[in-house]
Amino acid sequence: MPDGLPTEIDLTRPSAARVYDYFLGGAHNFEIDRRLAEQIASMTPNLAATMRSGREFLRRAVRALLDAGIDQFLDIGSGIPTVGNVHEVAQGANPKARVVYVDIDPVAVAHSRELLAGNDLTGVIHADLRDPERILAETRELGLIDFSRPMGILLAGVVHFIPDADRPEDVLATLRAAAAPGSFLVISHSTFEDQPQEMLDAQRLSARTDTEITLRSRAQITGFFGDWTVLDPGVVHMPLWRPDSPSDVDEHPERFGAFGGVARYDQPAG
């Protein structure tokens, strides 16, 4: 296997995590992933910019959580390590910040463990978001995150990989129920709203990977926050969520094809 990767990795099918890595300029992808990525890119030339917009949204959200005092993060669907990962942002601001990465893709997990070797404040779990109980149990076993204290649950570009039949609302409810008051939930999610037909056609190519994308409305995505308090400016097209400067906002932020939002678990009155 290339790079000493586990033999169970299937190189006959493209991987969503490796396609994503390719669009971000990473090196952890194979020819079959690049072929699919290039086919998608031929239909939607701005897709690499869309991927970068998603990473930029995540970094801004993590900085907002750090400003709110959060020092522990559970990043589910973290993908293959790229520049500006959550631990780099968090530990750059707070060297004691703790991060647990979770991904379903064995390539993403293998490279994450290699990258993070020697960083005792990070951990990596190989698990499926559709099994939140396992994720929570293995996170507790790692001992990096204290569930009695506020934490940041990060779901950037991953919930849209759960089909409606697998009841993503129940998955999110399980994760929210495990969090202490003062915790935050970050979600970015692909949408069909305001999208041209070619973008919708390209999204459907995801059916060729092991993780097909389900596009959802702003209302559906907002519902994943449950009764948590959605922070300003709400669930918006990703570039519109607290941009670093007005010049960072594209003239057509909807072209990036996804909404992003952050919510806080406020202590119930009484």
Q: At a CB cut-off of 8 Å and minimum separation 6, what does 83 contact?
A: none
Q: How confident is the model at residue 212 (pLDDT cuts 50, 70, 90)?
A: confident
pLDDT attached to residue 90: 97
Q: 3-class DSSP state for residue 81?
A: coil
CATH T-level topology, domain 45-265: Rossmann fold (3.40.50)
Strands 122-126 and 229-230: unpaired
Res 24 pLDDT > 70 = yes
The string of DSSP codes covering 240-256 is GSS-SSGGGS-S-GGGG
Q: Helix %, strand %, coil % for the chain, to 5?
A: 45, 15, 40
Angle between helix 47-67 and 16-23 (nearest 10):
90
pLDDT of residue 154: 98
pTM value surpassing 0.85: yes
| pLDDT average, residue stretch 23-43 | 84
Residue with tokens 């994720």: 135
The reply to whether omega before 233 is within 30° of 0 (cis) is yes
Average pLDDT over residues 247-261: 85
pLDDT mean over 66-94:
92
Domain boundaries, the chain: 45-265
